[in-house]
Structure formats: C-alpha cells, structure tokens
C-alpha cells in the first residue's frame, strides 16, 4: 500500500472512530440487540434489515454484500465500528437510487407533475443578465423536462434571438439553444422534453424557426396526427422525443424596449437573507393567502398567451410553424372562469401567473382541479421577481398544476422544494399525480383543495447526529476560534394543514453534533408532503450560518435508520456532510 493510500485510509478510520465516540445510545443498543459476541453476522444483519430498516425482502446475500462492501473490516460480520460506517454509507440512503422509474408512465401527460423551468436561458437576474445555452444545459442535466425560450427578431430583423423581452438581457441565438437541447435533452432522463416558446416573431421569422426546429431535431420532433388532440399522449409513448408548445400564430406585435430602472424597490428587491435562503412560505390555511403585493403585475396585464386560442388561420401566418405545435397554448376570451372551462373535444395548455393562481384558488379551487385532470396548467413567477427568486410550488401542485415553472438559476427554499419533489420516480422529471387529483367521484365531483381531511398517516422522525462539516468546510468557516454550534430544522411542506417546521436544541462547540430528538408529523395528504431538513449554525451576534439542506418526498422515504446527504444552498451535494436519521410511519 502506498504512503498516500495509507494516509487516506487512516484518515477515514480516524474519522469514523471520532464519529463512533459520539454515537447515540439507541444505535449502540440496536447493534448489541442484533449481534453476538460483539459481531453482527450476515444472518443477524439480515434480521436487522427486515425488522428495523423495514426491508422485508432483504436476503442473507444482501447482508453479506453490505459486509463485503466495508473493506478493511471483518468479513464474517460487522463490529460496532463497521455497523456505524454502514449506517452512514451511501448504500443506506433515505431514497433508494436503484428503485428508478416506478410510476405508471402510460397515462396522458396531464396526469403528471413535470419538472419545469422558467426563462430557462437566463444566467442570472431577469432584467440585465446574459442569455446563454449554459443554464439550459445545466437544467437538462438536473432532469428538468420543460425548457422555456422567449424568441424575438434579432437586431437586423433577419434571424431569431432568445432573450427576456423589454429588458437589458443580452441575447443568444435561438439555433444555439436548440442545438444545446438536442445534445443534452436526455442526459438525465429519456422522457420527453417540452419546449415552450413565447413567440414575438413576424410570420417570415416563424417560418425560419419552423425550418430550424425541423432540421435540428429531425425524427426526435414529435408531430401530432391531429392539430388539437382530444387527449395528450403519455410520457412512455414520447420517450426521446422533443415536443413544441406555444400559442397558435397571431399577427406580429413588436415589443418596445425599456430602460433599466434604478429604483430596486419598485421591483421588489429581495433582502440578502432572502437571496440566500428564501423566505418562509406564506400561510395558506383557512382559505387565505398572505399577499405581499396585491397589485396585478405586468405579466398579468400583458400575458404571453393572452390571445384567444382559435382554429382560424391568420392570413400571413406560417403554416409550417403552426404544424410544429403539439401542445396548443392560449386563453379563451373572458376572465379566469372562462379560461378554466373544459372542452370535451380538445385539450390545451393554459398559463397563469402565481398571483392569478393564488387569487383563483380562493374561490375556484375545484374548477382548477377539474381543468388539470385533462388539460395542462402552467404557472409562472410574477414579473417583479427580477432577482430570479421563486414562489411556493405547493399551491400549484395541490390544485393539479403540471408545470409549476421555476427560475432554476435562483436559489433558496422554494427551489429546494422543487428539487426535492423531482427526486421522486427515479429523478426522471415526471411524477405521477395522486389519484385523487385525476379521478372523479360517482357524481362527477372532483377533489376540493379546501376540504377538511382526516390524518392518513404519521411520520416519526428521529434526528440522531450529523457529521462531515469538518471535512467539507474550512475550520474557521463558522467561528474563528471555536467549533460550530449546530441545530437542525425539520418539518413538512405540503397542503396547508400539513405545513410545519420544528427545530432541535443547539449543540455547542462540536463538529459532530448529537441531538437525539424525535419529532412527529401527522399528515393529511402524505402524497404531496415533502420533508424539509436544514442545518444552521447559531451565531449570537450575526445571522445564523448555513450548514446544509435537503428536501425529500415523504411518499418515497425508506423507513429505518438512514444516512441523509445534505446540499449547499445552490443545491450542490456536499462530499461528506450527512445526518443520521430514523423514519417511521404509523
């Protein structure tokens, strides 16, 4: 063994001996309950997997594979140190990676929540950042399945650029974005990618876009057999396909450019704290929603899809462009009550702002649910979110909205929820909606989001301990002269009655904090519940420091004692930082 390899192994052993010294009493008790002569044999480990970890199908061979994976330890079984190492290992995660795609993928697209981006080409803020294909590639690699492109004439009016219109964002050529999508569309998932186009083009440029799209994607492009289908196809039938969604062409309206305004307050500038973390979500209980800004925003008044969707052709439109559209978008004339009417003969996509959804949810909740059973609802951020912040996605999901569109280049709590939701179903970007959101009752009734529901299950969470900060952070990152003072926040994001956050005590001056605290969460709608976990470092004189976060879909949590990896506020996984937690349902 080389000197370098030996030093790495020695470091790892020393690390786990240090962690073992802090091991919670319950962990030690469990080990001795399932061991003989301080050794957990394959047979006893298999019993532990079945009884404690609730892995009913675990075999002796599975137990032996775990023992074999822990190199440098006793091959005949686990001692306390190697048992502890197994509990903290990547083979003991709260969501089983090998589960893969396991939802029924043969249903219409309207039956799924879809990982959706907003202004997918922006590198930063909504007003003055660069447009690029890089954020599109990053989103696709993460598993995002809906990419939004705003398409405008270039400066010479002879080609097409992608940019956020009426702002100072610098453009990127459309063809560059299309080529990036073609190259990376299926890096993370083989299920279809939808390109939503916000179109500001003349008919001749629409024809040019049609040629670009057809040449770039070729056979990958999905072309429907009928212009407006009665039902959407399934994700399974659309594997490795690209789908175009936009409103049917209308007469060209050229937008006017505006100068950047110097008054940040006019755009609702976020505080430094909100930039890093995102605000805690407003209350949705008792049918009310806390509004910070009740004004109708610019996109509400000048919606990208505010025209009447009509089958009538415009005299100068490009027919080849219209034939690209597989998912038609648009609004009927009238208010939101008219927009939500269901046409039995065709399906479509409707886009509304987060504010429009919040207001409609107060009185039209059941109508939204009925609409989303067959049609697709896209929700987009209000235009005052110039810092690329986001909103609470649960408002859309609890009403069946498939495309809750997020700024993927923003950070903070709402985006953590989005990432957490789409860890489900193998991370393929499509999560089947709960049955109650897609089925009707015997009298054609639909789910009422305001209905008072009984508790369906209770999630019991034990927060044992954490480790890894000593290896992933500078030793002066949290405090200049002393070890950090960590506490954990744990709670649920879901329907209003399930929303709650709790916190552990603060463990002072310890890189290996041990909390040993238990929390119980009664859940009325576990099918939409996301487990929120955050670690903070208490600071008496300044804002508490960030120590990691993750969000996990409750319906895919593995019972038992699990190693929970934490992520940075940008959503990047730390190398070593993990929590040891236990999940139990009853």
Question: 3-state SS string over 370-385?
Answer: HHHHHCEEEEECCCCC
Range 109-248+319-437 classified under CATH 3.40.50.620: no
- Cα(133)–Cα(135) distance, rounded to whole angstroms? 6
Give the model confidence (pLDDT) of 95-105 as tens digits. Answer: 988 889 999 99
Tell me which of 173 and 253 has the higher pLDDT: 173
Mean pLDDT (the chain, rounded): 87
User: Could you give the strand order of the β-sheet that contains 530-537, starting from the edge strand earlier in sequence?
Assistant: 500-503, 486-493, 530-537, 545-553, 560-567, 573-585, 457-467, 514-523
Distance CA 508, CA 544 (A): 13
Work out the number of other CB atoms within 10 angstroms of the CB of residue 563.
18
Return the C-alpha torsion angle 238, 131, 246, 251, nearest 10: -150
Please check the confidence at residue 541 and state whether its pLDDT lies above 90: no
Query: In the structure, how many helices (H) and strands (E) does the chain have?
Result: 16, 20
More confident residue, 438 or 6: 438
25-33 vs 80-87: helix axis angle to the nearest 10? 120
Q: For residue 26, is pLDDT > 60? A: yes
H-type alpha helices, 425-584: 469-472
380-415, pLDDT tens digit by residue? 999 899 999 999 999 999 999 999 999 999 889 999
Residue 219 has pLDDT above 70, yes or no: yes
User: Residue 582: which of 565, 566, 560 has the closest Cα?
Assistant: 560
What 8-state DSSP symbol labels residue 285? G
Residue in 532, 556, 580, 289 with CA at minimum distance from that of residue 412: 532
Query: What is the residue whose two structure tokens read 């974005």?
Result: 177
| CA distance linking residue 475 with residue 330, whole number of Å | 55
Proportion of the chain above pLDDT 90, given as a percent: 76
Average pLDDT over residues 467-473: 94
pLDDT digits (tens, 9 = 90+) for 290-323: 333 333 343 443 444 444 444 444 556 678 899 9
Alpha-carbon gap, residue 455 to 524, rounded angstroms: 4
C-alpha dist (Å) from residue 395 to 147, 150, 284, 355, 383? 21, 25, 8, 11, 18
Helix, strand, coil tally for the chain in percent (to 5): 30, 25, 45
Pick from 200, 187, 203, 189: which is nearest to 161 by CA? 200
278 Rama class: left (phi>0) / alpha (psi -120 to 50) / beta: left
The model's pTM:
0.88
Which one of 3.30.360.10, 2.40.10.10, 3.40.50.970, 2.60.40.150 gives the CATH number of domain 452-585?
2.60.40.150
Domain residue spans in the chain? Answer: 109-248+319-437, 452-585
Q: Report angle CA 80, 84, 88 to the nearest 5 degrees.
A: 170
Give pLDDT, residue 301. Answer: 37
| CB atoms closer than 10 angstroms to residue 101 | 17
Weakest mean pLDDT among 215-224, 227-236, 502-511: 227-236
Residues belonging to the chain:
586
pLDDT (0 to 100) of residue 98: 86
Q: Chain-centre distance of CA 554, in angstroms?
A: 14
When pLDDT is cut at 50, 70 and 90, the band that residue 74 belongs to is: low
Which tokens go with 359?
Answer: 């207001």
Residues 6+ apart with CB under 8 A from 474: none
Tokens standing for residue 365: 């909740």
Q: Give the strand pairing for 430-432 and 112-114.
A: antiparallel
At 460 the pLDDT is 98
- Residues annotated as catalytic (active site), given as ranges: 118, 164
CB 384, CB 293: distance < 8 Å? yes
Computed from CA positions of residues 119, 124, 127, 131, in that sequence, does the dihedral angle turn out positive or negative?
negative
Contacts of 380 (CB under 8 A, 6+ apart): 118, 299, 351, 352, 353, 354, 405
Q: How buried is 216 (Cβ within 10 angstroms: 0-12 exposed, 13-18 middle, 19+ buried)?
A: middle
| Residue burial 157-195, b: 16+ Cβ < 10 Å; e: rest | eeebbbbbbbbebebbbbbbbbebbbebbbebbbbbbbb
Alpha helices in 185-268 (DSSP H): 203-217
Q: What are phi and psi of 266, to 5 degrees?
A: -65, -25
Dihedrals φ, ψ of 76, to 5°? Answer: -80, -10
The residue-averaged pLDDT of 123-150 equals 97
């Amino acid at each position: 063994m080389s000197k370098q390899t030996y030093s790495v192994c020695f470091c790892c052993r020393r690390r786990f001996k240090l962690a073992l010294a802090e091991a919670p009493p319950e962990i030690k008790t469990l080990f001795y309950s399932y061991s003989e002569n301080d050794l957990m044999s394959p047979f006893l480990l298999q019993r532990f997997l079945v009884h404690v970890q609730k892995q009913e199908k675990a075999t002796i061979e599975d137990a032996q594979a775990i023992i074999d994976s822990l190199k440098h330890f006793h091959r005949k079984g686990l001692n306390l140190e190697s048992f502890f190492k197994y509990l903290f290992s990547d083979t003991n995660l709260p969501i089983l990676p090998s589960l893969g795609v396991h939802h029924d993928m043969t249903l219409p697209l309207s039956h799924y929540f879809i990982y959706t981006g907003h202004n997918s080409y922006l590198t930063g803020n909504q007003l003055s950042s660069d447009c690029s294909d890089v954020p599109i590639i990053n989103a696709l690699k993460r598993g995002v399945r809906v990419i939004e492109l705003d398409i405008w004439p270039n400066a010479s009016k002879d080609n097409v650029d992608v940019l956020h219109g009426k702002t100072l964002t610098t453009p990127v050529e459309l063809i560059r974005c299309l080529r990036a999508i073609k190259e990376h569309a299926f890096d993370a998932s083989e299920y279809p990618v939808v390109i939503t186009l916000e179109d500001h083009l003349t008919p001749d440029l629409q024809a040019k876009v049609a040629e670009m799209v057809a040449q770039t994607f070729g056979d990958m492009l999905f072309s429907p057999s009928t212009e407006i289908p009665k039902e959407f196809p399934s994700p399974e039938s659309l594997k490795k396909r690209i789908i175009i969604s936009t409103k049917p062409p209308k007469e060209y309206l050229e937008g006017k450019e505006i100068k950047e305004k110097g008054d940040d307050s006019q755009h609702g500038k976020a505080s430094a704290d909100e930039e890093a973390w995102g605000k805690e979500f407003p209350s949705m209980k008792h049918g009310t929603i806390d509004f910070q800004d009740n004004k109708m925003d610019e996109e509400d008044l000048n919606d990208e899809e505010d025209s009447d969707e009509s089958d009538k052709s415009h005299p100068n439109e490009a027919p080849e462009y219209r034939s690209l559209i597989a998912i038609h978008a648009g609004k009927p004339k009238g208010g939101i009550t008219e927009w939500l009417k269901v046409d039995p003969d065709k399906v479509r996509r409707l886009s509304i702002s987060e504010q429009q959804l919040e207001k409609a949810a107060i009185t039209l909740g059941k109508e939204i649910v009925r609409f989303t059973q067959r049609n697709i609802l896209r929700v987009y951020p209000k235009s005052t979110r110039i810092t690329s912040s986001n909103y609470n996605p649960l408002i859309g999901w609890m009403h069946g909205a498939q495309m809750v569109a997020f700024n993927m280049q923003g950070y903070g709590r709402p985006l953590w929820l989005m990432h957490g939701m789409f860890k489900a179903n193998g991370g393929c970007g499509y999560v089947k909606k709960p049955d109650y959101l897609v089925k009707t009752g015997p009298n054609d009734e639909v789910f009422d989001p305001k209905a008072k529901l009984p508790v369906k299950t209770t999630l019991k969470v034990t927060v044992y301990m954490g480790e890894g900060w000593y290896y992933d952070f500078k030793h002066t990152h949290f405090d200049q002269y002393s070890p950090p003072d960590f506490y954990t926040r744990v709670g649920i994001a879901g329907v209003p009655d399930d929303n709650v956050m709790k916190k552990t005590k603060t463990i002072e001056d310890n890189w290996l904090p041990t909390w040993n605290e238990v929390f119980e969460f009664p859940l009325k709608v576990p099918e939409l519940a996301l487990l929120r976990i955050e670690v903070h470092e208490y600071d008496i004189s300044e804002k508490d420091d960030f120590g990691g976060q993750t969000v996990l879909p409750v319906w895919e949590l593995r019972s038992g004692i699990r190693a929970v990896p934490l992520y940075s506020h940008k959503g990047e996984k730390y190398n070593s930082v993990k929590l040891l937690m236990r999940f139990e349902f009853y």
